[in-house]
Amino acid sequence: MSYSELTRRYFESAPHAGVIGGVSTRVFRGSAGNRERGTWVQFDIEVAEGRCVDARFLAFGCPHTIAVAAWVAEQSVGHPLGAGLHEPVAALAERFGVPAEKLGRLLIVEDAWRAAGQAAVG
């Protein structure tokens, strides 16, 4: 399979990979999917005054899954915490050249982000 330049760049560098360390009442975690089915994503987000001030991710999956999770974490820093991703899944699929048969994996990224956001707002 051929990957887009953006997918390769985010997969190879994986900015914001990892977890947010330490104990803080401002850090929230959400995850979705499972490794047994081939895709699992977790986001840690640090929130202050309704904004994401830091975001990290862990992911098990294909290069598209990891690249999109890295992009979501990177792009979310500084933005208000909302109900979902800042960009629709279909737009992310187009941006990263994700084939239609892999769209379900991007929905797992979205579900993990929503779970972290829901944990933050209670």
**Cα 88 from chain centre:** 13
User: Percent of the chain beyond pLDDT 90?
Assistant: 84
**Residues 84 and 114 sit within 8 Å (Cβ to Cβ):** yes
The residue-averaged pLDDT of 89-102 equals 95
CATH class name, domain 5-121:
alpha beta
Domain ranges of the chain: 5-121
The token duo for 55 is 């975001």
Helix residue ranges per DSSP H, 36-77: 63-76
Q: Is the pLDDT of residue 22 over 90?
A: no
CA distance 110 to 48: 21
CA distance 39 to 28: 21
For the stretch 25-72, pLDDT in tens is 899 999 999 999 999 999 999 999 989 999 999 999 999 999 999 999
Query: Count of alpha carbons within 13 Å of 93, Cβ hemisphere only?
Result: 15
